[in-house]
Amino acid sequence: MSDTVPIAYASDDLEQPADRLLRRIIGWSGVAYGGMALLGSALHVALAKGWLATPRTMGWNLGGRWGLLQMVLGAVTNAALLCGGVLLLNRSRASVPVLRASAGFAIALAVVGTGMAIRESTTYASYWSTPATATFNALRFLGGLWLPVLILLLTLPPLARRMV
């Protein structure tokens, strides 16, 4: 019995198709979400600086210190989501903590940003002043966070171990 053959648990041949599919879905989701958000931020800066044409009836700004800080933190977070997605597609162990942390930070940044906007703008605060409008805005807010929440949940330990 000394001639036992070790079982190749980490072999690509034994990887389940569902694990490979999950890795691709989460990886490409991180790449797409992070990349689109970075493109949106770059367009916002270019419009605010006047580098791109905009209709005369529109005004673009960076929102002061808080807005600029939020934009920079958002860009770093979205770059981390993009990098985490690329790392996951390459089966790097570092991808899971990067994706999990950046998705969690994106959610926290959205909550804080919305809270600050409500606090600083009486007009925006009035959009949340009645139960119906608060519910409507909360649903829209949550609708914008479904992908980071999904990335965060799908990179928790039971599934994360199977993807890398």
Taking only the tens place, the pLDDT of each residue in 41-80 is 999 999 999 999 999 898 888 888 888 999 999 999 999 9
Task: Tell me whether residue 5 is in a domain.
Answer: no
- CA distances (Å), origin 93, targets 2, 50, 62, 99, 136: 33, 42, 36, 11, 39
Task: Tell me whether residue 123 is in a domain.
Answer: yes
Helices and strands: H and E segment counts in the chain: 7, 0
Number of domains in the chain: 1
Task: Tell me whether residue 86 is in a domain.
Answer: yes
pLDDT at position 18 is 84
Taking only the tens place, the pLDDT of each residue in 94-149 is 999 999 999 999 999 999 999 998 998 899 999 999 999 999 999 999 999 999 99
Task: Tell me whether residue 7 is in a domain.
Answer: no
